[in-house]
Amino acid sequence: MPHVPDVHAVAGLVDRLHDPKYGRWAAQIRTTGGCSQPVHLRGRADYYDRATGRLLHRYTTNTEPGGVLRVACKTRRASRCPACAETYRADTFQLIRAGLAGGKGVPETVAGHPCLFVTLTAPSFGPVHTRREHAGRELPCHPRRDAGHCPHGRPISCTRRHGSDDPGLGDPLCPNCHDYPGAVLFNAHAPELWRRFTIALRRTLARRAGLSVAEMADQLRVSFAKVAEYQRRGVVHLHAVIRLDGPDGPTEGPPAWATRDLLASAIEHAAGTAQVSTPAAEGLASRILRWGDQLDIRPVNLNGELTDEAVAGYVAKYATKAAETVGTLDRRISPAEDIDQLPIRPHARRLIACCLRLGELPELQGLRLLAWAHMLGFRGHFSTKSRRYSTTLGALRAARADHQRERHVTTGRLPLFEEDTVLVVNHWQYAGRGHSPGDALLAAAVTGRTSVTHATRGGPQPSWI
């Protein structure tokens, strides 16, 4: 049944349409790309001649609708703002693809470098409901003859055929048997486990080439780009593009001995040897964390089964997602909140409760589990790359900003100045964010989007915004 806006939203929409500055408001909305929670800024920008100090031009928000300038929030989370997340996804796609096929300052010869798409998974922390397929046919979840029951009296088998939209996917067969501390600690240590994996990978490549790590650096560089994805069971696994270059990066090919087969063998060895030990704490023994047994290594070919566009699209898709895909929240959880009242999955609630419990232990304070409970313990960057993998997100954003600046100059909204002779002094003040209910309805119509969410307009925002 379609959503029917309330009378206040309709009244706000009508007021906005009758506002003499509606055209300028609509232009701001289009400039933000349909951002769901635009940031409101109040202030001005002054352009001075560097030589004489003379004021050449002044932009002020006093003439803007509501006296504010609306700018995009630029979040990467699709759950917060689909429009800005789409821009982030597109930038990530270009960044990843440039490192596979060239472009954006990367030579096309990079396509001939040994390159693999690798998935590093988490180990098992107990059986969970999963979706299994064979030859396009759904299979039972955990069919076991005479499986019996766990110590808590639950059957340790499941004969259901779960669909892709089954809300029970990822739930433990027995929550009481599930190793929640292990899952939380794995998420918290995943960034360190990745770092140790990359160290082990370089050492393995050097050893098999008969070189020291320092000597190998003069001949070979390991470049990568990775993204973290949450599985339905609430633990992260990593997708990574790993490439071998010459010492100067993608502009130079690797030595002849650095083959794709050598890279695959080294990755397999490094994934099996990388490990992290957790500290012992009250009621919690020390443990060794490793990657799971399900290691996937596949070659990337421009015209093969796994193309550069397919890999870039896959990585970019997960760069805009986070733990909310597991059924938790996309914001930090205050210690004063009652997690039993949060609108989240029971499995996610148990993981969050485990984070809050372990975060109180002095031995685990460094993991900051209390601050990252909404992320189920994971506190690393979702999308990272080595320095010389390809271009940077900053370079892509700068190019887009230059394009917008040239467009404003062409349309006469911004005077044409020589940048080296002009000093720009900004005076900006935060004035709120989001849309009123009426503006949210109208913004959706202006940008052609199905919905633009309503958010608080003014006042201080929580730290997690």
Model confidence over 182-215: pLDDT tens digits? 999 999 999 999 999 999 999 999 999 999 999 9
Q: Compute the distance between CA of residue 68 and CA of residue 61 in angstroms, rounded to an integer.
A: 5
Q: Tell me how far the alpha carbon of residue 108 is from its chain's centroid.
A: 27
**Which pair of structure tokens corresponds to residue 274?**
């990388």
Q: Which residue has the tokens 């994996």?
A: 197
Q: Where are the beta strands (DSSP E) in 198-357?
A: 221-230, 236-245, 275-277, 288-290, 296-299
**Mean pLDDT, all residues of the chain:** 88
Kindly report, residue by residue over 291-327, the tens digit of the pLDDT: 999 999 999 987 777 899 999 999 999 999 888 888 8
Closest CA to 68 of 77, 58, 60, 79: 60
Q: Compute the distance between CA of residue 263 and CA of residue 259 in angstroms, rounded to an integer.
A: 6
Q: What is the reported pLDDT for 95?
A: 95
Please say whether the beta carbons of 327 and 349 come within 8 A. no
In DSSP terms, 401 is beta-bridged to none
Q: What is the reported pLDDT for 177?
A: 92
Q: Compute the distance between CA of residue 16 and CA of residue 26 in angstroms, rounded to an integer.
A: 10
Q: Compute the distance between CA of residue 43 and CA of residue 62 in angstroms, rounded to an integer.
A: 8
What secondary structure does DSSP assign to 355-401, as a single string? HHHHHTSGGGGGG-TTTTGGGTT--S-SEEE-TTSS--HHHHHHHHH
Instruction: Give the H/E segment covering residue 84.
Output: helix 82-101
Closest CA to 242 of 218, 256, 226, 220: 226
Neighbours of 252 (CB within 10 A): 14
Average pLDDT over residues 256-266: 96
Please say whether the beta carbons of 334 and 251 come within 8 A. no
Residue 145 pLDDT grade (very low, low, confident, very high; cuts 50, 70, 90):
confident
**Which pair of structure tokens corresponds to residue 463?**
């730290």
Kindly report, residue by residue over 331-359, the tens digit of the pLDDT: 899 878 899 998 999 999 999 999 999 99
Please say whether the beta carbons of 117 and 239 come within 8 A. yes
Q: Compute the distance between CA of residue 147 and CA of residue 75 in angstroms, rounded to an integer.
A: 47
| Alpha carbons within 13 A on the beta-carbon side of 113 | 33
Kindly report, residue by residue over 36-74, the tens digit of the pLDDT: 999 999 999 998 988 888 898 888 999 999 999 999 999
What secondary structure does DSSP assign to 177-194, as a single string? TS-HHHHHHHHHHHHHHH
Residue 464 pLDDT grade (very low, low, confident, very high; cuts 50, 70, 90):
very low
Q: What is the reported pLDDT for 303?
A: 76
The string over 153-179, giving b where at least 16 C-beta atoms fall within 10 Å of a residue's C-beta and e elsewhere, is eeeebbeeebeeebeebbbbbbeeebb
Q: How many residues does the chain have?
A: 465
Closest CA to 75 of 139, 32, 22: 32
